[in-house]
Amino acid sequence: MLRTRFCELFGIEHPIVQGGMQWVGKAELVAAVANAGALGMITALTQPTPEALEKEIARCREMTDKPFGVNLTILPTVKPPPLVEYREVIVGSGIKIVETAGFTPVDHLPHLKAAGIKVLHKCTTIKHALHAQSLGADAISIDGFECAGHPGEEDIPGLILIPIAADQISIPIIASGGFADGRGLVAALALGADGINMGTRFMATVESPIHENVKQHLVDATELETDLIFRQLGNTTRVHRNVVSSEVVSILNGGGEFADVRELVVGTRGRRVYEVGDTDLGIWSAGLAQGLIHDIPAVGELVNRIVTDAEKIISGRLAGFVC
């Protein structure tokens, strides 16, 4: 068994987190992750309304009696969602773990803490991690440049970001961005983290609620096939490279503004990719870890494989180096 202080604090068996993923973090996947002994997060903004989130939490509880959390993402959106109402549903539903992500959680943390909720804040800089710690976050998910979605604007890969975070932050740290297997888990622990976050890897699992074509596309893709979009807008986003992402890059590189790409990037269009399996319909998030994905296992098999491989690496290959 691999156990870290993150496991103790969040009441989970394995130091593996399935962080928020727009259109993917639904009850089926989250319950499967929880049943595998890892920590799954329902993505709040994937649900169209706070009421729908309440139902999704109840649906997840029907599929697992293990702990799971909810991700609340605070980032630019085409239509600003009622974040306070989503938060109130999370608190009212008796959820005990929340992952905040994006901008500072300052407006939400006091309410979440007052309800006895453990907060894992995901961010991409040491400055923001220290800020979240000072606000009372229970753990930090530090997201390196390899990640899917929003890597921030500083482009620091995990190999540098994680040990610096470990040097400066006293609460538990989850290493995020580029993790997909047992080797990554061992590396994260060696760098000073207390566990790993995986998004892209969990997309290509049996229980992931997305079209089989997208899962197979992740298996076939290499680490070279992502695009960084929105760099010019200070909202850099890593997506799987396709005809839409290439067009967005070209428009913004040519001096275009958000209004010029809005119809191409709108999330409801990206959602169709996962629903109908046409990977060129819109933008969809994927990290560099797609180059490490070679199969579509059940979540339980994946978590078990990662933990078992990590244990073997630590007690076998690495122990063998010490003489």
Q: Does residue 267 touch ligand NAD according to CB under 6 A?
A: yes
Q: Does residue 75 touch ligand NAD according to CB under 6 A?
A: yes
Q: Does residue 228 touch ligand NAD according to CB under 6 A?
A: no
Q: Can you list the positions of beta strands (E) in the chain? A: 16-18, 39-43, 69-74, 97-102, 118-123, 139-143, 173-176, 196-198, 226-229, 237-240
The residue range among 58-66, 111-119, 230-238, 288-296 that interacts with ligand NAD, by the rule CB under 6 A, is 230-238
Q: Which of 18, 73, 200, 208 binds ligand NAD (CB under 6 A)?
A: 73
**Whole-number minimum distance, CB 201 to ligand NAD, in Å?**
14
User: Cβ–Cβ contacts within 10 Å for residue 97, how many?
Assistant: 25
The residue range among 2-10, 72-80, 305-313, 315-323 that interacts with ligand NAD, by the rule CB under 6 A, is 72-80
The residue range among 33-41, 83-91, 264-272, 310-318 that interacts with ligand NAD, by the rule CB under 6 A, is 264-272
Concatenating the DSSP letter of every residue in 66-82 gives S--EEEEEES--SS---
**Whole-number minimum distance, CB 75 to ligand NAD, in Å?**
3
Q: Cα(200)–Cα(178) distance, rounded to whole angstroms?
A: 9
Q: Cα(9)–Cα(255) distance, rounded to whole angstroms?
A: 47
Q: Which of 58, 78, 298, 318 binds ligand NAD (CB under 6 A)?
A: 78
Q: Does residue 124 touch ligand NAD according to CB under 6 A?
A: no
Q: Which residues contact 78 (CB under 8 A, 6 or more apart)?
A: 262, 266, 267
Residue 318 three-state SS: helix
Q: Does residue 148 touch ligand NAD according to CB under 6 A?
A: yes
